Amino acid sequence: MASEGRNYAHLVQDDRVHGDIYLDPDIFDQEMERIFHHGWVYIAHESEFPEPGDFRTSGVGRQPIILTRDEMRHVHVLLNRCTHRAASVCQAERGNARLFRCAYHGWSFRNTGELAGVPYADGYGPDFRREDFGLRSLPRVDSYRGFLFGSVQPTGITLREHLGAPVMEQMDLFCDLSPSGQIDLSAGTHRYGFDGNWKLQVENTIDGYHPNFTHQAFFKGVQQRMGLNMTLFEGNSGGFNRDLGNGHTLLDSRGFSRTDPLSQRRVEMIKLMAKPYYEALVDRHGEAHAEDLLRFNGTHMNIFPNLMLLQNQVRVVGPIRVDRTDIHVQPALLKDAPDVINTMRLRMHEQFYGPAGGGNPDDAEMFERVQVGLQASVDPWLFIGRGLHRERHDSDGTRYGQMTDELSQRGILHHWRKLMLAGESRES
């Protein structure tokens, strides 16, 4: 490794970061402990296990979990680890079960986590108490708009403190496209991966500089076939790049959408194809906000460290190894919206996203090219200084810059540095 060692203040500077943060397996291990096993991490959405008995397996960092809904519809988040000798007790990603039976020695657990049965129980002495051997619960779980987050640590800031008002406002924009304010993640999942570090995807999701280059073929096709001219990602567009604090970042096209003819065209199209849907939004939110919801069409936001809400989709970044990352993308259906709206959302999603989409694979290609380039350590620095001279403070406490600025990358990586340093002082 480079002689700098793991001096995080050196590895992440104001306008540059050292390549080791994407390459060093020891730094990856520390990220797992200091970020994924410490603060709030997105784990699943409530719509993925809606009925009593439903479950969904997921993970927090490296820790396997089961989310269950019991007969009383209470949500439990349990570690997927038999309290006897640690075998995972649930093998399916989704399903419905009242009991989880460990196949190794036959211990069984209710979907509340309680230990229900132990074979040949006379083998345990009088001190053995079943209530001591329930499946362990994730120490903290909380949710906002159905998005469930968990933390391995029993204490720390609340989820609402972690998210902050500007993030929750964007989550509202995402969910309020449903006439009942609820999204539904039952439409299936696109899964793809790349041989590169997880932070490359996080930085890319709110990178307003790359679309006109990485995705030029797609945008050219849109321009030629549909006559639609995408101007949002030009260096002088009215879109903003916003640091929402705590590592959360936003490509903010709200102001842009209010004057953009394409966004208005979408509103008019929805009025034509699904008038009752439009009217339901107006009833609930008033005409001005309903039109804004449709113009904004969701959001384009990172919620640090692993959740992204982009237009129609919920994207989750799964770090596997320092140089391998899996991505799960779920298009969000709008509960109580007409089928024509939800089907349109699916078809639009497929054009750009997923393993055969017109966009995702080119992003993944860039991440793999970065991972190759990073091996050149003669000059190990990556430059993230774009727009540093023109950052501005907004009245809601966020900082913002022009759409193509690298304010959001700085926001992510400077928060990352803060967490890595905080972990270091805890451990020392």
Partner 1 sequence: MSFDRDAVESFLFLEARLLDGMAYEAWLELFDEKTLYWMPSNRDHTDPAREVSIVYADRDQLGFRVDQLQSGSAWVQDPPPRLCRAVSNIEIREAEDGDLDVESVVQVMVLRRHKSRTLMGRVQHRLRPHTEGFRIVQKKVVLVDNDEVIDDLTFLV
Residues in 307-326 at the binding interface with partner 1, rule: CB under 8 A: 326
DSSP β-bridge partners for residue 67: 56, 77
For residues 71 and 98, give the distance between their C-alpha atoms in angstroms, rounded to a whole number. 9
How many Å separate Cα 273 from the centre of its chain?
A: 31
Least distance to partner 1, CB of residue 156, Å: 31
Tell me if 370 contacts partner 1 by CB under 8 A: no
Question: Which of 153, 180, 216, 377 forms a contact with partner 1 (CB under 8 A)?
Answer: 216
The answer to whether 273 contacts partner 1 (rule: CB under 8 A) is no
Structure tokens at 14: 């104001």
248 binds partner 1 (CB under 8 A): no
Q: Give 242 or 349: the residue with its C-beta nearer to partner 1.
A: 349
> Could you tell me which residues come within 8 angstroms of residue 169 by beta carbon, excluding any fewer than 6 positions away?
none
Residue 385 makes contact with partner 1 by CB under 8 A:
no
Among 224, 236, 425, 428, the residue binding partner 1 under the rule CB under 8 A is 224
Applying CB under 8 A, which of residues 196, 208, 298, 331 lies at the interface with partner 1?
331
- Judged by beta carbon, residue 19 or residue 331, the one nearer partner 1 is 331
Per the listing, tokens 């509103």 go with 267
CA angle 341, 189, 311 (to 5 degrees): 45
Q: Which of 10, 275, 346, 373 binds partner 1 (CB under 8 A)?
A: 346
Assess 214 for contact with partner 1 (CB under 8 A). Answer: yes
> Helices then strands (H, E): number in the chain?
15, 23
211 binds partner 1 (CB under 8 A): no
**Residues sharing a CB contact under 8 Å with residue 17, sequence separation 6 or more, in sequence order:** 11, 381, 382, 384, 413
Q: Confirm or reject binding of residue 330 to partner 1 (CB under 8 A).
A: yes
Q: How many Å apart are CA 69 and CA 49, to the nearest integer? A: 7
Is 279 an interacting residue with respect to partner 1 (CB under 8 A)?
A: no
Considering beta carbons, is residue 131 or 339 the nearer one to partner 1? Answer: 339
Is residue 34 a contact residue for partner 1 (CB under 8 A)?
Answer: no
Taking CB under 8 A as the rule, does residue 349 contact partner 1? yes
- Number of residues forming the site for partner 1 (CB under 8 A): 39
Helix H or strand E encompassing 223? helix 216-226
**CB neighbour class for 143 (10 Å; exposed up to 12, middle 13-18, buried from 19):** middle
Q: Burial-class residue 61 by CB neighbours within 10 Å (0-12, 13-18, 19+).
A: middle
Residue 366 within binding range of partner 1, rule CB under 8 A: yes
Residues contacting 166, CB < 8 A, separation 6+: 242, 244, 245, 248, 250, 396, 397, 398
* Residue whose pair of structure tokens reads 């966009």 in the numeric block: 359
- Figure out which of the listed residues 156, 361, 380, 385 binds partner 1, where binding follows CB under 8 A: 361
Gap between the Cα atoms of 300 and 251, Å rounded: 5
CB nearer to partner 1: give 15 or 93. 93
Closest CA relative to residue 384, chosen from 166, 164, 210, 162: 210
- In the list 150, 357, 387, 411, the residue contacting partner 1 (rule: CB under 8 A) is 357
Binder among 308, 341, 364, 420 for partner 1 (CB under 8 A): 364
In the stretch 160-189, what mask flags binding to partner 1 with x, by CB under 8 A? --------------------------xxxx
The two structure tokens encoding residue 275 = 């008038």
Among left, alpha and beta (phi > 0; psi -120 to 50; other), residue 374 is alpha
Q: Which two tokens stand for residue 165?
A: 């008002």
The tokens of 137 are what? 């619960």
Question: Which of 74, 347, 392, 426 contacts partner 1 by CB under 8 A?
Answer: 347
Q: Is 391 one of the binding residues for partner 1 (CB under 8 A)? A: no
Token pair, residue 258, equals 């209010």
112 is a site residue for partner 1 (CB under 8 A): no
351 binds partner 1 (CB under 8 A): yes
Choice from 220, 265, 275, 426 touching partner 1 (CB under 8 A): 220
Site string (67-86) toward partner 1, x via CB under 8 A: --------------------
Nearer to partner 1, 354 or 411 (CB): 354
| CB contact at 8 A, 329 and 361 | no
Which CB sits closer to partner 1, 99 or 217? 217
Asked if residues 353 and 313 have their Cβ atoms less than 8 Å apart, the reply is yes
91 contacts partner 1 (rule: CB under 8 A): no
Binding footprint of partner 1 on the chain (CB under 8 A): 186-194, 214, 216-218, 220-221, 224-225, 326, 330-331, 333, 339, 342-343, 346-347, 349-351, 354-358, 361-362, 364-366
